[in-house]
C-alpha cells in the first residue's frame, strides 16, 4: 500500500509548476466522523448478500477505532489535496427472529484520496477549487452468524478487497459576512466502472476561525460506493456528523 500511495502522490504533483511565484500554504486537518453504515455485503459464494446497518446515532458506541486526516498544500492556484480515512465498526443484528439467526458484523475500511487541485475562483474571500485524482479503497468485512438454520448457521465469513478509482470534484469556502464564521465543503464523484461502478462523496460544514492559524468545523458527510467484483459485493453508504480542527501554516 505504501508504494501505491507514494506513486499516486508523485503522479499528482507532476502537473504542478516548479517555479511559480509566491509561498506555499499548508493546512492539516485531523477530524472525527461519526458515520453510520448501511448497505449490502458478500457472504459465501452462491448465497445472497446480507444487509448491514449501523445508525449514525450508534456509530460512536459501535466504533472500535478510527483515524481521519486531510492535508492540503497550495501555491497560488495550484495544489494537492490528500484525505485518509480508517474506520473499524462492529454491530450485532438479528436477521431472522423466528429462527434466531443472528449476525455480528465487523467492517474495516481504509480510504486514501490524492488529488491535484486548481483554483478557479477567488474573490472577496470566497474560494472555489476543482480537483481530480485517485482514490484507493480497502474494504474488509467479517460476518459471524449464530443460531438459525441452513448454510449460514455457525458460519464465519471474511471478505476483503482493494481497488483504485478515478476521482473528480469541486470544493469551496465562503465567509459568513464579516464574522469569523465560514462555510466549507466539497462534492466529489468517481469510479466510472474503472474500479467501483460509482461513488459519490458530499461534505457540508460550518466553521469558526479562532485566529489566523486555527479553525474548527462541524458538519455532515455522506459517502456512497457501489463495488462488485465476481462474488465480492460492497454496496454501502456511510454518513454522519464530523468534527474537525484545521491548522494552517
**Mean pLDDT, rounded, for 191-207:** 97
Tell me the per-residue pLDDT of 63-77, one tens digit each, with 9 for 90 and over.
Answer: 666 789 999 999 999
Does residue 6 register a pLDDT over 50?
A: no
Contacts of 10 (CB under 8 A, 6+ apart): none
User: What pLDDT sits at residue 50?
Assistant: 77
Contacts of 201 (CB under 8 A, 6+ apart): 169, 186, 187, 188, 189, 221, 222, 223, 224
Does residue 10 register a pLDDT over 70?
A: no
Domain ranges of the chain: 2-242
Does residue 144 register a pLDDT over 80?
A: yes
Homologous superfamily, domain 2-242:
OMPT-like (2.40.128.90)
User: What pLDDT sits at residue 142?
Assistant: 84
pTM metric for this prediction: 0.82
Task: Rank 16-25, 134-143, 200-209, 224-233 by mean pLDDT and report only the highest.
Answer: 200-209
- Whole-angstrom CA distances from 104 to 90, 101, 112, 143, 158 are 7, 10, 27, 6, 12
Q: Phi and psi of 199, rounded to 5°?
A: -150, 155
Rounded mean pLDDT of the chain? 86
Tell me the per-residue pLDDT of 201-221, one tens digit each, with 9 for 90 and over.
Answer: 999 999 999 999 999 999 999
User: What pLDDT sits at residue 158?
Assistant: 85
Q: Phi and psi of 100, rounded to 5°?
A: 55, 40
User: What pLDDT sits at residue 180?
Assistant: 97
Amino acid at each position: 500500500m505504501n508504494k501505491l500511495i507514494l506513486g499516486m502522490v508523485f503522479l499528482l504533483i507532476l502537473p504542478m509548476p516548479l517555479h511559480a511565484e509566491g509561498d506555499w500554504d499548508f493546512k492539516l486537518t485531523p477530524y472525527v466522523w461519526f458515520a453510520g453504515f448501511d448497505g449490502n455485503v458478500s457472504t459465501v459464494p452462491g448465497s445472497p448478500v446480507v444487509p448491514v446497518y449501523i445508525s449514525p446515532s450508534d456509530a460512536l458506541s459501535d466504533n472500535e477505532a478510527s483515524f481521519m486526516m486531510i492535508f492540503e498544500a497550495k501555491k497560488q492556484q495550484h495544489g494537492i489535496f490528500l484525505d485518509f480515512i480508517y474506520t473499524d465498526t462492529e454491530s450485532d443484528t438479528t436477521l431472522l427472529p423466528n429462527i434466531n439467526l443472528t449476525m455480528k458484523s465487523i467492517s474495516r475500511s481504509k480510504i486514501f484520496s490524492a488529488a491535484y487541485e486548481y483554483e478557479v475562483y477567488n474573490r472577496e474571500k470566497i474560494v472555489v477549487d476543482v480537483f481530480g485524482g485517485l482514490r484507493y479503497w480497502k474494504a474488509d468485512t467479517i460476518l459471524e452468524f449464530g443460531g438459525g438454520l441452513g448454510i449460514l448457521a455457525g458460519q464465519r465469513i471474511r471478505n476483503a478487497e482493494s481497488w483504485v478509482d478515478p476521482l473528480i470534484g469541486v470544493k469551496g469556502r465562503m465567509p459568513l459576512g464579516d464574522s469569523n464564521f465560514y462555510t466549507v465543503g466539497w462534492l466529489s464523484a468517481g469510479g466510472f466502472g474503472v474500479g467501483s461502478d460509482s461513488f459519490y462523496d458530499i461534505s457540508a460544514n460550518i466553521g469558526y476561525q479562532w485566529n489566523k492559524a486555527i479553525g474548527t468545523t462541524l458538519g455532515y458527510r455522506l459517502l456512497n460506493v457501489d463495488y462488485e467484483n465476481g462474488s465480492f459485493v460492497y454496496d454501502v453508504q456511510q454518513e454522519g456528523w464530523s468534527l474537525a480542527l484545521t491548522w494552517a501554516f
